[in-house]
């Protein structure tokens, strides 16, 4: 667990539902807008993902939120996407202004999407396998 937090000082880490099409789409969106490769990724279903879930006292079967670890801090739900968008060098950064909405309000909508993500966007049979070019950006 210490190594994950150590990595997060230099590279924010996104833990995501590896079989969720919406989550995988967000990872692809991030990779395309992160040419310097600042972000690292791991599926919540991976060994690292399960350790982080246990560390923050969530069940390893609880895939209801993406998790961002940045500078040894843990962010969940709506804050994850907003913190990530803030680091992108594109016009999407204006969306970070949504951070000023109450977290409870933002997370209400996040939970609705999270509950319905498989129904609305589908799911994969297994976690995505990164291409050889992207392998170094995914934690084992």
Phi, psi of 79 (to 5 degrees): -65, -30
pLDDT, tens digit (0-9, with 9 covering 90-100), for 38-78: 999 999 999 989 988 888 888 888 888 999 999 989 999 99
Q: Read off the tokens for 132.
A: 């050889």
Structural domain boundaries in the chain: 2-137
What pTM, to 2 d.p., does this model score? 0.90
Do the beta carbons of residue 1 and residue 51 sit within 8 Å?
yes
The span from the CA of 54 to the CA of 140, in Å, is: 17
Q: How far apart are CA 67 and CA 15, in angstroms?
A: 5
pLDDT for position 111: 96
Please give the CATH architecture assigned to the domain spanning 2-137: 3-Layer(aba) Sandwich (3.40)
- pLDDT at site 110: 96
Give 73's strand partners.
70
d(CA 140, CA 74): 19
> Tokens at residue 111, please?
């939970």
> In this structure, what token pair is assigned to residue 96?
């970070």
pLDDT-flagged residues of the chain (< 70)? 89
CB 137 within 8 A of CB 130: yes
pLDDT at 104: 97
């Amino acid at each position: 667990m210490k190594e994950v937090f150590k990595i997060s000082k230099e590279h924010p880490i996104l833990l995501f539902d590896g079989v969720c099409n919406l989550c995988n789409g967000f990872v692809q969106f991030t990779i395309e807008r992160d040419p310097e490769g600042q972000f690292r990724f791991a599926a919540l279903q991976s060994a690292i993902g399960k350790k982080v879930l246990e560390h923050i006292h969530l069940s390893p079967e609880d895939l209801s939120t993406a998790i961002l670890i940045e500078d040894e801090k843990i962010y969940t739900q709506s804050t994850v996407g907003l913190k990530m968008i803030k680091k992108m060098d594109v016009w999407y950064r204006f969306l970070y202004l949504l951070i000023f909405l109450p977290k409870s309000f933002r997370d209400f909508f996040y939970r609705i999407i999270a509950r319905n993500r498989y129904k609305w966007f589908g799911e994969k049979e297994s976690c995505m396998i990164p291409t050889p070019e992207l392998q170094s950006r995914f934690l084992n």
